Amino acid sequence: MKKLKTIGCSLFLLASLGCGKNDNEDYRSNLDTAVKDIHANLQKELKTDVPSLSVYVVSPKGTLFSTATGVNGIPVTKNTYFRFASNTKNFTSTAILKMMQEGWLNLDDKITAMIPGTNVPYTPDGAAWDFPHKSQITIRQLLQHNAGVYDITNDASKYNIDGESYTDYMLEHFPDHQFSTSDYVKILAEKNLTYGAPNTVYHYSNTGYSILSEIIARIYSQKTGANKTYGNYMYDHIVGPGTKVPLEIRFPELASDKQLPMPYVTGFIKYDDHDEVTNLKNASAHIGEGNGIGTMKLLSDYIRSTMKAENVLTASSIEQMKTSKGPATAVKDRNYALGCFHLPGVGYGHNGATEGYLSMMLYDPETDFSVIVLLPFWDLRNNMENFPKCMNALNTAATEAKKALGY
């Protein structure tokens, strides 16, 4: 049975804690009703129990948490840990933009160029890293998914093992394998895999963000004079105790680092012939593109502080994050910029899907409204026909949460 391990969520953009004010009781009731109805409708549509659906909202109208729990679900709170998957890409974009602010890199440098102030290139030299169009690709294009980098993690159309993507196959048959960006890039080079020259095609690529994680690690190693990883930079400069807005968010990099912090919610996958409970995961397969762990409260604190220029990024950097789309993106009328998409009418941010977990974080600067949605459930039955319905529930929950507060 093929096990679909990770999905680039932006491909599927189809589409109670009160603040103590009595006049917000209507908002709380509206949100509870919306979440309950969306959860019930999803169960009816899928004809199965859905463990839970949870929404966390912060706005001038109040701070509200609402959750609906299925028969087989466990209670979720705003402080429950889960794997937030491709929401990680927004953190990676923040890291790159912070390095840009500090003069550590230039967004429009080719990834074969030298790290500013050094004679060391952003990416390794050598045949193993000589993948298609490498010398033409810029850092900005990787952030935009406009680099043409083939997605080793998600895409089995041009290269697969027994019908599975390389990542899916390895995770299923060698669950303790220590992945690296070099693993992926070597395959790109050997198999001549590409979606096309940069700026000619928009294609969501986890592998492109894996390359960005390598760039972050190489730059940080040069600046510190020590061997540093992507996780080291994220801890030291983006979320750790010494940062501007400390957050207990983790980005595990070791294959052996599988345990979620307590309290956590397990993911749940429904196949045609069996069910699977997930929580232990080899996150080394998704460094920089999907290895983040946090809570709804932590994601809310992050996206709000970041988008309001109250964290590590300046207002001009945030504007680039929201609006800098590549030409291929613009032609297709996509909403993806630098590790950030826009859900019209709701806000800017990202979403994520990994092995039984679906989530979304969005912030609207016009109304100071933010929403986090968590659905720890995948339905992969009926040849994947049910999965987009789960993804759509994220969009619906975010949209209806905003309406529930009268926006």
Task: List pLDDT tens digits, range 252-300.
Answer: 999 999 999 999 999 999 999 999 999 899 999 999 999 999 999 999 9
At 330, is the pLDDT very low, low, confident or very high (cuts 50, 70, 90)? confident
The answer to the question of residue 46 being in a domain is yes
In a domain, 231, yes or no: yes
Domain count, the chain: 1
Tens digit of each residue's pLDDT (9 = 90 or more) over 142-153: 999 999 999 999
Could you tell me the pLDDT band of residue 2, with boundaries at 50, 70 and 90?
very low
Kindly state the average pLDDT of the residues 64-69.
98
Determine contact, residues 208/142, Cβ cutoff 8 Å: yes
> First and final CA of the chain: distance in angstroms?
45
Are the C-beta atoms of 142 and 111 separated by less than 8 Å?
Answer: yes
Instruction: Say if residues 375 and 52 touch (Cβ distance below 8 Å).
Output: yes
What is the per-residue pLDDT for 333? 63
* Res 20: pLDDT: 45
Res 17: pLDDT: 37
Q: Which two tokens stand for residue 77?
A: 């709170």
Instruction: Give the 3-state secondary structure percentages of the chain, helix then strand then coil, rounded to 5.
Output: 35, 15, 45
- 366: in domain: yes
Residue 204's Cβ-side half-sphere holds a number of Cα atoms within 13 Å equal to 24
pLDDT at 130 over 70: yes
Residue 74 clears pLDDT 90, i.e. is over it: yes
C-beta of residue 151 within 8 angstroms of C-beta of residue 10:
no
Q: Which pLDDT score is estimated for 16?
A: 37
Lowest mean pLDDT among 132-141, 162-171, 182-191, 324-333: 324-333
| 1 domain residue, yes or no | no
pLDDT at 24: 81
Structural domain contains residue 252? yes
In DSSP terms, 277 is beta-bridged to 268
The pLDDT value given to residue 200: 96
The answer to the question of residue 308 being in a domain is yes
What value does the mean pLDDT take over residues 173-179? 96
> pLDDT-based confidence at 331, cuts 50/70/90?
confident
Identify any residues that bridge with 54 across adjacent strands, giving them in sequence order: 67, 374
The answer, yes or no, to whether residue 4 has pLDDT greater than 60, is no
Q: Are strands 267-270 and 378-379 parallel, antiparallel or unpaired?
A: parallel
Inside any domain, residue 218:
yes
What residues pair up with 349 in beta bridges, in sequence order? Answer: 341, 362
Q: Please state, in angstroms and rounded to a whole number, the distance separating the CA atoms of residues 142 and 115.
A: 16
Q: Looking at residues 72-83, what average pLDDT do you find?
A: 96
Query: Torsion over CA of 381, 385, 387 and 393, rounded to 10 degrees?
Result: -130
**Residue pLDDT, tens place only, 12-60:** 444 333 344 455 889 999 999 999 999 999 999 999 999 999 999 999 9
Spatial separation of the C-alpha atoms in residues 101 and 322, rounded to whole Å: 16
Core vs surface per residue 356-377: b (16+ CB within 10 A) or e? bbbbbbbbbeeeebbbbbbbbb
Q: Shortest CA distance to 303 belongs to which of 231, 257, 363?
A: 363
- Report if residue 337 sits inside a domain: yes
- CA gap 183, 162 in Å, rounded: 18
Instruction: For residue 387, give the H/E element and its range.
Output: helix 387-404
> What's the pLDDT tens digit per position in 194-249?
999 999 999 999 999 999 999 999 999 999 999 999 999 999 999 999 999 999 99
> What's the CATH code of the domain at 100?
3.40.710.10
Q: Identify the domain containing residue 221 by its residue range.
A: 6-404
Q: pLDDT tens digits for 348-392? A: 999 999 999 999 999 999 999 999 999 999 999 999 999 999 999
Task: Supply the pLDDT for residue 10.
Answer: 46
